[in-house]
């Protein structure tokens, strides 16, 4: 095949897949080479390649056949001079200065992690609400849920769900302009537009999307002009009844440095949280990963009890859990033997050690009482004298930092205090730590004792 034949072939494909899909998926592909049944094409993103091969691979092969060419395999090379909204920050300086490039639909909807689909999202009690809400939004019929605000600790699946919504929407309605980006990327785009005097363009582009998803919105807390622009974009889209999905690592009310008007707008849709995983969910996720891995590598052999062991031991975050499993896969393929409990314990020693101790608020409070020689009832009481208030603040600070409890949950444990009291306490200790070596020593020592 030559470039010319590829052009012929794409012409045929256009008739088959339709103009819209053709523009979105086939047209951006560029011919690289054809040899020994292997066709190589460029794509903008890995996601685009996966999509094309899944949805149009057979058509491409079929049409080639009609032109007298046999294609056994299609491979996609990522074109690196393309920009994408979701590229990591470090590649931003190379981005072309014209913000117009953003309006190219491929670059907008692309760059999603192809593993992050609903099919591969394991649902359990801790995430069922968030999952259901995301599902609902992904049907495109969601006027009631605008904005959808997803929050929860690191590695609990926020990004996964947002990508899944995006993939699903694009699949159902390829003409929909779905934009997914992190708040950080939003800020960089904004700064870049300011610098290049492309603000009109920037505004136009972001106001013309059908669905806007902004991940990790806590990032723009305290960044005033970015927040301002975000607020205007947000309002313009909501007014047009366009769907917005936002994620953050905590509830809108807990994001310090977020303007009140944004906070209240974020709260006016549906706010759902992803709770820390429980044992069943972790086991489910591990089983899903193993099953998926087996599709590719059939000889994977895991002894009974290994997954249960991991689900029991690694409780912090799903990313760590996945990392552990990946390491086991790599080990077993290297040494070519069964993954046993011994092997898991040995090869994951560092991860297991880090996850070994899970501190509870109860332990923290007891330790604080002992360390500062105060009574538990004092910690819970409304008393505000310094010799009690300081230990209480320290306990709140440690609770926030060493457990996955939220501000309101911590407040509740400390004699039903308001979450703003806890926020204040955390901030206070953080301030003191940098000014008062006694406080920073105390904090460090307590942390070590609790981790031991």
**Residue 414 contacts ligand ADP per CB under 6 A:** no
In this chain, which stretch among 158-166, 224-232, 260-268, 346-354 interacts with ligand ADP, using CB under 6 A? 158-166
CB 365 within 8 A of CB 379: yes
Q: Which is nearer to Mg ion, 138 or 159 (CB)?
A: 159
Q: Which is nearer to Mg ion, 181 or 286 (CB)?
A: 181
Quickly count: other Cβ atoms within 10 Å of residue 336's Cβ: 9
**Residue 116 contacts ligand ADP per CB under 6 A:** yes
**Residue 122 contacts ligand ADP per CB under 6 A:** yes
In this chain, which stretch among 9-17, 50-58, 233-241, 318-326 interacts with ligand ADP, using CB under 6 A? 318-326
Q: Within 13 Å, how many C-alpha atoms sit on residue 431's CB side?
A: 8
Binding at 179: pick from ligand ADP, Mg ion, none (beta carbon under 5-8 Å per type): none
Of positions 158, 189, 275, 392, contacts ligand ADP by CB under 6 A: 158
Cβ 76 to ligand ADP shortest distance, Å: 22
The whole-angstrom separation of Cα 84 and Cα 349 is 38
Q: Which is nearer to Mg ion, 158 or 289 (CB)?
A: 158
Q: Which is nearer to Mg ion, 47 or 76 (CB)?
A: 47
Q: At which residue do the structure tokens 């300081």 appear?
A: 390
Cβ 197 to ligand ADP shortest distance, Å: 34
Q: Which is nearer to ligand ADP, 156 or 270 (CB)?
A: 156
The alpha carbon dihedral of 247, 218, 207, 84 has a sign of negative
The whole-angstrom separation of Cα 72 and Cα 174 is 28
Of positions 259, 322, 378, 430, contacts ligand ADP by CB under 6 A: 322
The whole-angstrom separation of Cα 237 and Cα 146 is 10
The whole-angstrom separation of Cα 137 and Cα 123 is 17
In this chain, which stretch among 33-41, 149-157, 165-173, 218-226 interacts with ligand ADP, using CB under 6 A? 149-157
Cβ 249 to Mg ion shortest distance, Å: 8
Beta strands at 148-152 and 211-215: parallel, antiparallel or unpaired: unpaired
Q: Which is nearer to ligand ADP, 102 or 122 (CB)?
A: 122
φ, ψ for residue 259 (rounded to 5)? Answer: -60, 145
Q: Within 13 Å, how many C-alpha atoms sit on residue 168's CB side?
A: 20
- At 268 the three-state DSSP class reads coil
Of positions 82, 106, 127, 413, contacts ligand ADP by CB under 6 A: 127
Q: At which residue do the structure tokens 């001079």 appear?
A: 81
Cβ 129 to ligand ADP shortest distance, Å: 13
φ, ψ for residue 396 (rounded to 5)? Answer: -65, -40
**Residue 130 contacts ligand ADP per CB under 6 A:** no
Looking at residue 277, the DSSP 8-state letter turns out to be: P
CB 72 within 8 A of CB 37: yes
Cβ 267 to Mg ion shortest distance, Å: 21
Of positions 15, 77, 232, 319, contacts ligand ADP by CB under 6 A: 319
Q: How many residues does the chain have?
A: 452
Task: Identify whether 301 is preceded by a cis peptide bond (ω within 30 of 0).
Answer: no
Binding at 122: pick from Mg ion, ligand ADP, none (beta carbon under 5-8 Å per type): ligand ADP
The whole-angstrom separation of Cα 82 and Cα 345 is 44
CA 289 from centroid of its chain's CA atoms: 18
In degrees, rounded to 5, the angle at the alpha carbon of residue 175 between the alpha carbons of residues 169 and 176 is 50
Q: Within positions 269 to 298, which residues make up the interface with ligand ADP, using CB under 6 A?
A: 285, 288
Q: What x-and-dash track marks residues 143-162 binding Mg ion by CB under 5 A?
A: ---------------xx---
Cβ 159 to ligand ADP shortest distance, Å: 3
Cβ 258 to Mg ion shortest distance, Å: 18
- At 114 the three-state DSSP class reads coil
The whole-angstrom separation of Cα 226 and Cα 209 is 18
Q: Within 13 Å, how many C-alpha atoms sit on residue 146's CB side?
A: 20
Cβ 154 to ligand ADP shortest distance, Å: 5
C-beta nearest to ligand ADP: residue:
157
How many residues interact with ligand ADP (rule CB under 6 A)? 18
Of positions 49, 109, 157, 269, contacts ligand ADP by CB under 6 A: 157
Of positions 63, 74, 160, 402, contacts ligand ADP by CB under 6 A: 160
Cβ 160 to Mg ion shortest distance, Å: 8
**Residue 47 contacts ligand ADP per CB under 6 A:** no
Contacts of 186 (CB under 8 A, 6+ apart): 214, 220, 226, 230
Q: Which positions touch ligand ADP (CB under 6 A)? A: 116, 120-122, 127, 152, 154-160, 285, 288, 318-319, 322
């Amino acid at each position: 095949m030559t470039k010319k034949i590829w052009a012929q072939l794409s012409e045929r494909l256009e008739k088959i897949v339709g103009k819209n899909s053709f523009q979105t998926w086939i047209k951006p592909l560029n011919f690289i080479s054809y040899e020994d049944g292997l066709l190589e094409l460029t794509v903008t993103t890995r996601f685009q390649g996966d999509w094309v091969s899944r949805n149009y691979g057979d058509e491409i092969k079929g049409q080639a056949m009609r032109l007298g060419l046999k294609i056994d395999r299609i491979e996609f090379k990522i074109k690196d001079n393309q920009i994408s909204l979701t590229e990591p920050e470090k590649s931003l300086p190379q981005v072309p200065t014209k913000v117009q490039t953003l309006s190219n639909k491929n670059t907008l909807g692309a760059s999603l992690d192809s593993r992050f689909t609903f099919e591969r999202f394991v649902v359990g009690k801790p995430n069922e609400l968030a999952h259901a809400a995301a599902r609902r939004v992904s049907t495109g019929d969601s006027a009631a849920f605008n904005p959808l605000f997803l929050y929860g600790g690191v590695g609990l699946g926020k990004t996964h769900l947002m990508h899944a919504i995006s993939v699903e929407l694009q699949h159902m309605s390829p003409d929909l302009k779905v934009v997914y980006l992190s708040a950080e990327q939003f800020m960089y785009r904004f700064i870049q537009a300011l610098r290049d005097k492309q603000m009109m363009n920037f505004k136009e582009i972001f106001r013309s999307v059908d669905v806007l998803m902004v991940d990790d919105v806590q990032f723009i807390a305290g960044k005033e002009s970015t927040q301002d622009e975000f607020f205007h974009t947000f309002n313009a889209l909501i007014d047009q009844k366009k769907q917005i999905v936002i994620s953050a690592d905590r509830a809108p009310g807990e994001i310090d440095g977020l303007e009140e008007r944004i906070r209240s707008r974020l709260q006016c849709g549906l706010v759902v949280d992803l709770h820390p995983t429980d044992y069943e969910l972790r086991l489910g996720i591990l089983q899903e990963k193993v099953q998926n891995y087996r599709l590719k590598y059939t000889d994977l052999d895991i002894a009974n009890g290994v997954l249960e062991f991991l689900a029991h031991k690694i409780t912090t975050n799903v990313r760590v859990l996945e990392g552990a499993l990946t390491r086991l896969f790599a080990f077993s393929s290297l040494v070519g033997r069964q993954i046993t409990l011994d092997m898991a314990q040995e090869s994951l020693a560092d991860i297991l050690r880090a996850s070994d101790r899970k501190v509870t608020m109860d332990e923290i409070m007891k330790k604080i009482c002992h360390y500062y020689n105060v009574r538990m009832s004092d910690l819970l009481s409304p008393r505000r004298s310094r010799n009690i208030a300081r230990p209480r603040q320290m306990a709140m600070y440690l609770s926030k930092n060493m457990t996955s409890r939220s501000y309101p949950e911590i407040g509740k444990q400390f004699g039903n205090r308001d979450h703003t009291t806890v926020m204040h306490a955390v901030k206070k200790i953080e301030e003191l730590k940098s000014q008062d070596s006694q406080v920073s020593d105390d904090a460090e020592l307590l942390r070590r004792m609790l981790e031991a």
